[in-house]
Structure 1
């Protein structure tokens, strides 16, 4: 066969179609969006229950015949000819390793066969993932139309399983089962980590999410707090999620930007995700563990998190409101640190070019100059029913909390010039900001995988990012209209060109969130604490308040923590610990076993709120790795205030 193959359209692109699964519809409210994106209950089927079975040819090899069996957790492949094998090599493809699927057809008009292709990222013997594409030839019928229907049936069933959609028991498997592609806004910090964020995004993230059928727009941030400014002016109803491609700092900006909005109560429910391309990837490490994957770093961690993002699914995310000494307030999804951890975090900034290795070097230097800090830590234990700081009918807020302005009446909808191609159809632009200033006639540039080559028609499948074989596979005309996607132009200030800009500096936080819920567990900072609080005073080497399980991609500081457990996990190390003992603690933290060492200086408490009062005149405080003003602070957990894109929980068990 000398003809090319073309990708078939796989999805119903009606923009008003609502989803009932884990990925992407345009709901009436952000709360509806979060609820709709929660994965549905698993179907009452055993992992080995056959859903589809059929015989196909292989591509590009000729003459081989394969028996395919699709189950809820894997695609089984058994070779029939030329030499039957009971268990051929590569004969089991776990769906946990599949990013997407598409159908294909030949450009040769005499070829009546149809094809479908699955994109997989299997783990190698050394743990890393590599992309692989498997293409199968449907040729059991006499006409192309019948073969096309069979290929589409298999591709649709695969995509339904990947997205958590139930398959009809005895009903027909048709394209109508698939909703429109989710719409993601990707924010990339090109200075992230060792400056490789853009390259990693282009080489790894964009191909995978295109294979999964996710529509996206991509913006490169130019400066500190740029992402915060962007989300303050976004029309959030146009997006099913905001995903940061960087370290933890960019997500900090996004969440605080959402809470800065007048409509923060709805805005903060916008699902957010993280694809780790920075030096600090703590939340990504927690997402990776939640997905059931082995601990990973670098590109391996990025591929794991990208696979989980492609599957969809979200969880509520606890946020910590932090009131600073000046009375200002910010919101944290990760940690508040004082002492050794914050010292290493900030002092290692000068080694940012080393990526995550900067923390290793910073730890060594910190151990060489180990300091102790005197302070007072007070906390409200998780098991204690809180006493109101003041009568409930007249509860005053801490001095940091400003009066919340009610959300204004909905403004008339902004008219956009819709883009009649999906973001995965267009050539890759040069690395530059992908956002136009207000009033600009230029639409928002959007990215694809096709380089400067011929345009590929087809919103999903990513068949054009690389030849799948020496006989390349190309797309066919779509069978349904494209989803419309609007450019972002409203509410964003004009931005300078990105060329020549220096990397962001590790300054203290800029604007502090003015919205968000009141801190009903906290009296004003400086006022006496209510009954039921516990206070510790003395010399500390470090104090860490952490929400998720991970402090770094490979540091499990609170192994029992969950994204939505409603707790802040307090860990502290008292003065008097030796350098060797502290080093052993951090080495054990890589496995989450540091609490089992029996270190007498190590303390832990689960709390709902806390207050930290440094008594040493000088020191460093950080919130989510960002330096804040030094002085007393207090914080309270707001359970489930945000929504985090996590993918499905756990690793689906491999079938025997």
Structure 2
């Protein structure tokens, strides 16, 4: 299975590669052009053999290599064999500033003997050595513990063809499919057909067939997959299945966060897709925090990204009508909502990540009294008929296609999951983890919680990752497994220009230094939100949920993420 990838594995270094290889090979198109090629544990060095004094060496770092393959040529009379290595180094963008990963292929012809099998074995030896060395040289972030995906990694890739501008499937076939072939990753492509298709599929799937589940869509499809895994009786094992994210939606918050965590230069659009595809092929797995969310109806669901109320939720849902324009839909939605800025009344309480004891007199000034029966919450005061029901986002409608490299088959799933709760058993206890930090929604919050001394909000946002969208760097210091919920709220009184400047500063990650007196940021372990305004929307991971009291707590490192 998987192994700790925090340090090189000596056994792998000895498996066909002892540290250094050297050979002389010809160009694939011109036998008159010869190269000396040397392989070390960290690089592939290529130099043209020539009498010219200018014999420039080209060095490719194996940390940028995703794979290498050996093969015979198309001409049966050709005694030579070939090996091709695939690199994705950072190179300067054409007609632009900055750098991004770009594909480079290095291919050589091996003709050391008259026996074709001898040449093929030599090509395979080089391909095997380059593959092994490139795995050992996968980019790692200091201080992060990784495991490796097993090789070959049997991968299920779920694509929502209607996410974003409806180009997810084209982006997969145009970019990711070739990368997976180059990296020798066998995969099954599943095209989702309807809302909760992915949720139903992973809830009932035999997960022993898969080493990873990868999403090619917006963040909503991963929300389905995570909740489907948590609804299984074997959720403890199921949620350990490594999860991957390929950006195919409008926001792509998790994909942008994964790219940011890799300490790579900023990337957007297809460059971001290439970066996430590269990390998928490298196969390093880290930890992922999940957040358990409780709704007023006693439903429970699991979040990996965000909980939003007010301005952010309004923009996310109301901009659905502009989905065809892609990520710019959020800018359009922001401008529309700014024109008629809303203020919401509610109560907010949270458990600080680092509790600082306060003297009783200071606590009385800083917080409201805990929510009590004398101070009734909406779970007892808001009639059910006042809870608006929002229509779900449009999901995908298409056949499911299995493309396990060159093998074709069909995978189908006919049932739709509409229930948001985890499964229960005869003892009425869920199989899901216990939320030890959360009381019942109808009970007061504990004394060590902070209650916000403010009832008028423009927005409340609880987020677990660095990015809220590709171009919104919301929490510069966040990590996928920091064990924190990053809580933001903006109070009433902020002007429209000030709120716009705040979101523009968020594009650069400088909003926390903006000095806005209406913006509050706290690191928390749990929170509770009780809307008083009878109209509004609450979203979890961008999906509309029941409007009313809601609370959540973080479960550190519960899941696993392919993050490189």
User: Kindly tell me: are residues 588 and 67 of structure 1, through their superposed partners in 2, closer, same or farther at Cα, counting changes over 3 Å?
Assistant: farther
For each residue in 1:59-86, what CA deviation from the matched residue of structure 2 results, as whole angstroms up to 9, or x when unmatched? 1133112222334443222222264534
C-alpha distance in 2, partners of 1:315/1:142?
48
User: Kindly tell me: are residues 494 and 615 of structure 1, through their superposed partners in 2, closer, same or farther at Cα, counting changes over 3 Å?
Assistant: closer
Q: Which residue of 1 aligns with 2:439?
A: 523
C-alpha distance in 2, partners of 1:509/1:339?
25
User: Kindly tell me: are residues 588 and 52 of structure 1, through their superposed partners in 2, closer, same or farther at Cα, counting changes over 3 Å?
Assistant: farther
C-alpha distance in 2, partners of 1:84/1:192?
55
Q: Which residue of 1 aligns with 2:93?
A: 125
Q: How big is the alpha-carbon RMSD for the aligned residues of Structure 1 and Structure 2? A: 2.8
Single out whichever of 587-596 and 135-144 deviates more from structure 2. 135-144
Structure 2 residue matching 1:447: 3-state secondary structure: strand
Matched, 1:533 2:443: no
Q: Which residue of 2 aligns with 1:39?
A: 5
Deviation at 1:147, TM superposition (A): 3.1
Matched, 1:646 2:563: yes
Deviation at 1:343, TM superposition (A): 0.8
C-alpha distance in 1, partners of 2:107/2:537?
55
Deviation at 1:111, TM superposition (A): 3.8
C-alpha distance in 1, partners of 2:483/2:6?
23
C-alpha distance in 2, partners of 1:432/1:538?
45
Q: Which residue of 2 aligns with 1:308?
A: 279
Deviation at 1:51, TM superposition (A): 3.3
Q: How do 1:568-579 residues align onto structure 2 when only pairs under 5 Å count? A: 568-579=485-496
Q: Which residue of 2 aligns with 1:447?
A: 403
Which structure features the higher share of helix residues? 2
Gap runs ≥5 in structure 2: 11-17, 139-148, 358-378, 380-396, 424-430
Deviation at 1:385, TM superposition (A): 9.6
User: Kindly tell me: are residues 338 and 432 of structure 1, through their superposed partners in 2, closer, same or farther at Cα, counting changes over 3 Å?
Assistant: closer
The one of the two structures with greater contact order (alpha-carbon pairs below 8 A, sep at least 6) is 1
TM-score, normalised by the number of residues in structure 2 = 0.82
Q: Which residue of 1 aligns with 2:338?
A: 367
Q: How do 1:73-472 residues align onto structure 2 when only pairs under 5 Å count? A: 73-81=42-50, 83=52, 85-87=54-56, 91-108=58-75, 111-122=78-89, 123-126=91-94, 127=99, 130-141=102-113, 143-164=115-136, 180-384=151-355, 432-434=398-400, 446-447=402-403
TM-score, normalised by the number of residues in structure 1 = 0.71
Q: Which residue of 1 aligns with 2:538?
A: 621
Instruction: Find the partner of 2:420 among 511, 521, 526.
Output: 511
Does structure 2 conserve the Cα–Cα contact (< 8 Å) formed by 1:63 and 1:82? Answer: no
For each residue in 1:459-500, what CA deviation from the matched residue of structure 2 results, as whole angstroms up to 9, or x when unmatched? xxxxxxxxxxxxxxxxxxxxxxxxxx99867xx4469xxxxx
Aligned residues: 496
Does structure 2 conserve the Cα–Cα contact (< 8 Å) formed by 1:509 and 1:627? Answer: no
Does structure 2 conserve the Cα–Cα contact (< 8 Å) formed by 1:112 and 1:143? Answer: yes
C-alpha distance in 2, partners of 1:248/1:544?
16
Deviation at 1:535, TM superposition (A): 0.9
Deviation at 1:118, TM superposition (A): 1.4
C-alpha distance in 1, partners of 2:282/2:326?
28
Q: Which residue of 2 aligns with 1:545?
A: 462
C-alpha distance in 1, partners of 2:524/2:53?
61
For each residue in 1:365-404, what CA deviation from the matched residue of structure 2 results, as whole angstroms up to 9, or x when unmatched? 1222222222221111112399xxxxxxxxxxxx9xxxxx
Does structure 1 conserve the Cα–Cα contact (< 8 Å) formed by 2:158 and 2:214? Answer: yes
Q: Which residue of 2 aligns with 1:465?
A: none
Matched, 1:60 2:29: yes
Q: Which residue of 2 aligns with 1:480?
A: none
Which structure features the higher share of strand residues? 2
User: Kindly tell me: are residues 385 and 138 of structure 1, through their superposed partners in 2, closer, same or farther at Cα, counting changes over 3 Å?
Assistant: farther
